[in-house]
Amino acid sequence: MKKLEQLYEGKAKKVFKTDDPNLYIVDYKDDATAFNGLKKGTIAGKGVINNRVSNHLMKMLEKNGIPTHLVEEISERETIVKKVTIIPLEVIVRNIAAGSLAKRLGMEEGTKLQHTVLEYCYKDDELGDPLVNEYHIYALGAATKEELDLIADYAFKINRLLSDYLKDLNIELIDYKIEFGKTPDGTIILADEISPDTCRFWDSVTGEKLDKDRFRRDLGNVEGAYHEIMKRLLGE
């Protein structure tokens, strides 16, 4: 597999073409941003951890019937993935009130939600990724009803699988963001990443935050939290 030209550099990853037209290589960076790019920084070793953690979780999901873009981890920071056309939605699932939902609904952070919440944001940096509902999504042509029904099914199934898996490691899954993409034959698969950048992970016993909120809110020991997640998931 040959790494060819860079297609895209995002806030957390670079995406490269390969000599196989159906595959990309993603390269995870240590750069961290928050508040739609207003806050910028570096988290030493984050790229390595997110690459390994995301692949580990995607493997677990794949084994349990969720199709993912994961093909092969080729280095500490690089992974071969199936090329998809990203569906321009941030699919957010919430078990416990935190972040923007706690603020919007006036709930105290940490309150258990009486029902799992599924939210969609339209992926558009200039608009600040606005919250949208299914009708907005159809109106935008971002996904069809059939596609969105499948995405919602996957999002809830992923929630059960991830929550159960993490519970055994004393990690509570508060909320997370996932992205889906379409392969050239139209199949919808899980893409992007699942990591402490894109999930809220709280220690089940102490309640300590083990995710990007440590960076967003200047809570200190950001690197330590990312390492702790890798240690619990991968044993190192």
Query: Which residues form the interface with ligand UDP (CB under 6 A)?
Result: 90, 92, 98-101, 129, 175-177, 198-200, 212
The candidate with the shortest Cα–Cα distance to 156, out of 118, 120, 186, 128, is 118
The candidate with the shortest Cα–Cα distance to 120, out of 99, 98, 142, is 142
Q: Return the residues of window 48-67 that contact ligand ADP according to CB under 6 A.
A: none
Asked whether position 227 contacts ligand ADP by CB under 6 A, the answer is no
Cα–Cα dist 122/127, whole Å? 9
- Residue showing the smallest CB distance to ligand ADP in the complex: 10
Give the one residue of 1, 4, 6, 10 binding ligand ADP; rule: CB under 6 A.
10
Q: How many residues comprise the chain?
A: 236
Nearest residue (CB) to ligand UDP, 90 versus 223: 90
For residues 157 and 66, the answer to whether their CB atoms sit within 8 Å is yes
Cα–Cα dist 15/8, whole Å? 5
Partner in contact with 99, chosen from ligand UDP, ligand ADP, none, beta carbon below 5 to 8 Å by kind: ligand UDP
Nearest residue (CB) to ligand UDP, 62 versus 90: 90
Q: Please state the closest distance from residue 149 (CB atom) to ligand ADP, in A.
A: 21
Partner in contact with 155, chosen from ligand ADP, ligand UDP, none, beta carbon below 5 to 8 Å by kind: none
Q: Which residues have C-beta within 8 Å of that of residue 49, sequence separation ≥ 6?
A: 195, 196, 226, 227, 229, 230
Q: What is residue 188's three-state secondary structure?
A: strand
Give the one residue of 172, 192, 211, 213 binding ligand ADP; rule: CB under 6 A.
192
Q: Return the residues of window 170-189 that contact ligand ADP according to CB under 6 A.
A: 179, 181
Query: What are the distances in angstroms from CA 92 to CA 47, 85, 198, 227, 235?
Result: 22, 19, 10, 24, 28
Asked whether position 212 contacts ligand ADP by CB under 6 A, the answer is no
Partner in contact with 181, chosen from ligand UDP, ligand ADP, none, beta carbon below 5 to 8 Å by kind: ligand ADP
